[in-house]
A and B are shown apart, each in its own frame.
Chain A
């Protein structure tokens, strides 16, 4: 005791900070939860960060783009005889990219392609995200019930899934979209949701089946936790990452699927632009040398799907509980 009191007092925190230059050592005391750890892993995944930036940029353009670009979607421009600055190119088959129309114009009504692609992003993304989210919720409910309760309920639900998965999906979607929709985007979205949850239901069922027999679920049951709380507190939080990954990746496939259906003329009609129906309308003008009309909505689809897939890949790695920092 005496010896210790005769020593110089320990340096104050400020002095240590001054000497070390920072308070880095405090960082190790901060407790990170699973999501913070996942975020840290995600940030290190370059391709995933690139993909997310790409996707979020496209989302941002979809939201604010229509307010910034100079042309209004619902105003049809005065038709020109020849493209600006040319005496050869006839405006009726569309004008190539120029200062005024940086993505060019369409044939026929001579509309600004940038305006169409940006406005089309809204519906394409809304349908993609909306249908995937709805499908994920439906699939989680059906798969969760089947996996947790098992027995005959599981049997019935999974046979329904089997039947729906064995339908020739594309034809069913074409027919249903045509009969129900009359080109309404909301109906198209619902159709994709209703025919898109089966895969997620199977995934969630298998997750619930394996998590149900985890020891920590037994432990919760031994403590006296009821089914509802076991499902929502113990099982679902541990199943959420694969569901998020599956949902993210399904956004990409719904966007492609919607484009395909609209391209065939069975999806959303042209009064509500989507990338698919913009492409569809370009068809008859391609022989006239109009390459920019199909190119730019096509590129929009490619970049969006690419961004989402990179992001989904990164999420899969980041959310995997087996990978440690």
Chain B
């Protein structure tokens, strides 16, 4: 699959091959029964055939409902799990089956920020100990240098270096997440997988962390895989967005393109769920409400995995193809890739989504600098195509 990159990398970072190239990544968790003689009775097919690639300095957003496999994908990519199948190439090196020392060395270059800042810090270690642990185990610098680096890291993320002696329970949620960010930065990584880094935080704190992440990206030329379930946040920070449903990627497109012209019925539904900060538009637009629950990943539907809930299929008179043939991710115009047989029938602009703009929609260049008060609140609505009533 070819990588399609929208926003250019930040200045100072040379454009090269993709930093991360994932092909057909599959992660199944076995379900077994029996106590002494365990029988393998099935798999939770958390991630299946996911391909994506991220360029240096780019931010790829990965969105989807809870349980769609986006976190598993992120964790598998940094090799917290051993993938069932597929290939992960990081900076030209295949890391899919790395173990032991080579894997440990690779981990210096890719780090993770976790969703829950309360659960991701060891309650028995000080903030300084947590931030300094990567330095200790990779034996970077002398003891004195490490101490200075920990102080530096804490101030980079906006914490008083004096706080290094404190324990996690003495910090607020936002401060704890800053410690998590500092830990991820400690070893100068190239790639950071941010697994819903703000969804456990107070709304007022979310913007602070987002701004911190954007600042750090500009400062250190970081590459992000940004996982979230909230499209309004993802489109603010991402250059490109990948949408996941039930373990598969259903649509990939540059951030602006995805927002203005979604081509997968699932993406259209997701976008229609994002509130618009304009009462007039909000009152007029119609939302697509998906019926039913996400099917079980143990036994996903045949054909297109979305067909059980697809509004477009219903509108088209339930074509046979949706149930029998699994749609591949195919490239379309505008840097778009979609996994839907009838993507051409989706007219995003005439659907309910036309009123939803993006921050990037205002101008590609000022998107980063204008990272202001709040992600969702600062989104300026694009004027609707139909005249206001």
Contacts and interface: CB of A to CB of B under 8 A. Distances in A.
* A-B residue pairs, 7 tightest by C-beta: A224-B107, A215-B119, A237-B124, A224-B104, A215-B120, A216-B122, A223-B134
A237 B80 CA distance: 23
A23 interface: no
A223 B183 contact: yes
Interface string B104-127: 110110011011100111111110
A123 B342 CA distance: 84
A218 to B, nearest CB: 6
A33 interface: yes
Contact of A216 (B107, B115, B120, B169): B120
Contacts of B126: 33
Contacts of B78: 222
A49 interface: no
B167 A222 contact: no
Interface in A214-260: 214-216, 218-226, 229, 233-234, 237-238
Interface of B: 36, 75, 78, 80, 103-105, 107-108, 111-112, 114-116, 119-126, 133-134, 137-138, 165-167, 169-170, 180, 183, 186-187
Contacts of A229: 137
Contacts of B105: 224
14 contacts: A31-B166, A33-B126, A155-B36, A215-B120, A218-B80, A220-B133, A222-B78, A223-B133, A223-B134, A224-B103, A224-B105, A225-B133, A226-B104, A238-B122
Interface in A286-325: 321, 324
A220 B75 CA distance: 13
Contacts of B124: 34, 237-238
Contact of A225 (B137, B186, B187): B137
Contact of A31 (B104, B107, B165): B165
Nearest to A29: B162
Contacts of B180: 219
A31 B170 contact: yes
Contact of A224 (B36, B119, B138, B169): B138
A34 B112 contact: no
Contacts of A225: 133, 137
Q: How would you classify the secondary structure of chain B's contact residues: helix, strand, loop or mixed? A: loop
Contacts of B107: 222-224
Nearest to B111: A222
B123 A238 contact: yes
B72 to A, nearest CB: 12
B123 A321 contact: yes
Interface residues of A, number: 23
Contacts of A224: 103-105, 107-108, 134, 137-138
A258 B103 CA distance: 52
Interface of A: 31, 33-34, 155, 214-216, 218-226, 229, 233-234, 237-238, 321, 324
Contacts of A220: 122, 133
Contacts of A233: 122, 125
Contacts of B114: 215, 218-219
A228 to B, nearest CB: 11
Nearest to A238: B124
Contacts of B138: 224
A226 B166 CA distance: 25
A33 B167 contact: yes
Contacts of B111: 222-223
Contacts of A238: 122-124
A220 B120 CA distance: 9
B167 A234 contact: no
A229 B183 CA distance: 17
Given A216-B121, A224-B107, 13 more contacts: A31-B165, A31-B167, A33-B167, A34-B123, A215-B115, A216-B120, A219-B114, A220-B122, A223-B137, A224-B103, A224-B105, A224-B134, A238-B124
A178 B131 CA distance: 56
Contacts of B123: 34, 216, 238, 321
A81 B123 CA distance: 69
A294 B75 CA distance: 65
A261 B327 CA distance: 75
A181 to B, nearest CB: 37
B43 to A, nearest CB: 19
B93 to A, nearest CB: 16
A41 to B, nearest CB: 13
